[in-house]
Amino acid sequence: MATDVLMPQMGESIAEGTIVKWLKKIGDTVQRDEPLLEISTDKVDAEIPAPDAGVLAEILAKEGETVSVNSVIARLGASGEAAPPAKAEAAAQGAAPVKHGDARVQPVEPLPSIPQTEQAAPQPPHAAPSPRAAAVQAAPSAKTEVDGKQGRSSPLVRNIAREHGVNIDEVMGTGVGGRVTKDDILHFIENRKAAPAAPSVPAAPVAPAPSVAPVAPAPAPAPALPVQAYSVGERTTIEPMSVMRRRIAEHMVLSRRTSAHVTTFFEIDFTNIARLREQEKKGFEERNGTKLTFMPFIIKAVIDGLRVFPVINASLEGENIVYHHDLNIGMAVALDWGLIVPVIKHADALSIIGLARATQDLAGRARNKQLKPDEVSGGTFSITNFGLFGGYTAAPIINQPQVAILGVGGIHKRAWVVETGDGDAIAIRHIGVLSLSFDHRLVDGATADNFMAHVKKSLETTDFSTLI
C-alpha cells in the first residue's frame, strides 16, 4: 500500500517549498523517520523524514522544483511493489520520461493529431501496461476518473481553477495519472483566451467526454508562448532562476491574472514636508537614531485614507469581501537578489517616529536576510517606492491577496502654478507622483480616486511639525 509524502508546512504563512536534494533514490528502502529529502522555504531549510517505512516508489517533484505545501512529492510503497505506471508510460511512448508533478512541462514529442481521449484508446499498441490500462485499473469508472483527477490536483491548482471558472476535468493533465499540474491549467487558461486560434495546441480543452481513458500524458500541451528561435551555444548563457526569482515571477503573473488592474495617478505637492525634513532631519536622527524620509508621512496619510475608505484595505475571498480591521502596511524593499515586502503591523498605532523606525528596521533586516516569516505576511495594503531610482511614476502590480498598492515616484523640484492671494504665480515646488493600482473587481474608480484625493490633501495640508 502506498504512502504519500507531502511537502510540509514550515510556518503559518509559508505556502510552498523547494526540493533541494533527494537523499534517497527510487527503489531505496527507507525506515520510518529516516531523512528522505532536504527542502528550502523562504526562511527555513529542513530535512524531511519518511512518514513510514517502505520503498521510495515515485518521486513526483525533482530537485530545484517548488511545490505547494501539502502537495504530494513522493510515494512510498511496501517493499517489493512494482514499478509505478510512470515507467510504463515512458516505455509505451518510447520517449523521454515525462516529468512528474508540477514539473515544468517539456514537449515530449510532436504528435500529428490531437490525442482525443477516445482516439487514445487504440494507442499505443504494444505496451504491456499501457497508460490507459494502468489508469483504468486505477480508476475504472468515469466518475472515479473525474474525481480522481480533481482529487489529485494540488490545492494551488484547484484555487486557480476556481478563480478562473475552469472545470479541472476539462484540462489535460500531464502529471502522473493524468494529474493537472499548475502549468497545465495556466496554459489552458491562456489558450482559452486565445480562443480556437491554434488547433495544433493539444492543451485546448479535451473533448467533452473525459470518460474512459486518462488523458495521455505524453503529448504534453505545446507551451502557450512561442519557443525562442535561438539555439543554445556561444552567444547565450543559461542560468536557472533562483527560488526567489521564480516566486516573484509566479506571483506577478498570478496577480495580473487574478485582479482587474487599473492604475490612477495623482501629483502631490510635497513642499511643506520637504521643508520640514530639511529643518528637522538632523535633530530627528540624533534624537531617534533613525533617518527621516518621506515614507513615514506617506504611510500616515495612507492610513488616514484607509480609515475613511476601508474597502481599499479589504480582500476578496470567493464571493465575500473581507474587511480587515488591522492596518498592516507592506513596504516593498529592493534587494540585490530580488524583492521582498516586509509588513509593518498595526501601522495605525505608530507615530511618525515609530513609522520611521519600523521602515528602517525592516528594510535593514530585509537586506541582511534577517526577517522572520511572520514579518513578510499578513499585509493588508502595500507601498512600493521606486522614486529613489529617479523614475517619474509607474503602475505597480497588486500584492495578492490585497486589492490595492501605492507606488511612490521620485519627488523632484518643478516649476508649478500656485494660487496666492494676489493671483496665480509660478513657484518652485517639490512634486511627486503617487500611483494607486487597484483591483476593479472590488474597488471602483470613484472610490480609488476619492481615496487618493484624501491622501493628497493629507500630505499637502497636515501640519506634521507637531508630530515629529
Among 43, 251, 345, 456, binds another protein (CB under 8 A): 345
Q: Does 291 bind another protein (CB under 8 A)?
A: no
Cα–Cα–Cα angle for 41, 43, 49, rounded to 5 degrees: 50
Binding mask 221-240 vs another protein (x if CB under 8 A, - otherwise)?
--------------------
Residue 359 or 402: the one with the smaller Cβ distance to another protein is 359
CB within 8 Å of 19: residues ≥ 6 apart: 37, 38, 39, 61, 62, 63, 64, 65, 66, 67, 73
Instruction: Answer yes or no: are the C-beta atoms of 450 and 289 closer than 8 Å.
Output: no
Q: Does 88 bind another protein (CB under 8 A)?
A: no
- The distance of closest approach from Cβ of residue 375 to another protein in the complex, given in angstroms and rounded to an integer, is 8
Instruction: Answer yes or no: are the C-beta atoms of 393 and 263 closer than 8 Å.
Output: no
Radius of gyration of the chain (CA): 27
Binding mask 409-448 vs another protein (x if CB under 8 A, - otherwise)?
----------------------------------------
- What cell was used for 26? 527510487
Among 144, 167, 242, 351, binds another protein (CB under 8 A): 351
With CB under 8 A as the contact rule, which of the stretches 65-73, 152-160, 351-359, 413-421 interacts with another protein? 351-359
Q: Does 375 bind another protein (CB under 8 A)?
A: yes
Q: Does 349 bind another protein (CB under 8 A)?
A: yes
Beta strand 404-420 with 381-385 is parallel
Q: Which residues pair with 322 in a beta bridge?
A: 315
CB within 8 Å of 89: residues ≥ 6 apart: 97, 98, 131, 134, 217, 218
Site for another protein in 253-282 (CB under 8 A): none
Among 357, 429, 430, 454, binds another protein (CB under 8 A): 357
CB within 8 Å of 387: residues ≥ 6 apart: 408, 409, 410, 411, 432
- The distance of closest approach from Cβ of residue 306 to another protein in the complex, given in angstroms and rounded to an integer, is 12
Q: Is 444 a catalytic residue?
A: yes
Residue 254 or 371: the one with the smaller Cβ distance to another protein is 371
Q: Is 184 a catalytic residue?
A: no
Peptide bond into 401 cis (omega under 30): yes
HSE-up of residue 131 (Cα within 13 Å, Cβ side):
29
Residue 129 or 378: the one with the smaller Cβ distance to another protein is 378
Best CA proximity match to 399, nearest among 386, 384, 415, 419: 384
With CB under 8 A as the contact rule, which of the stretches 199-207, 330-338, 343-351, 455-463 interacts with another protein? 343-351
Which are the catalytic amino acids?
440, 444
Residues forming the site for another protein (CB under 8 A): 327, 345-346, 348-351, 353-358, 375, 467
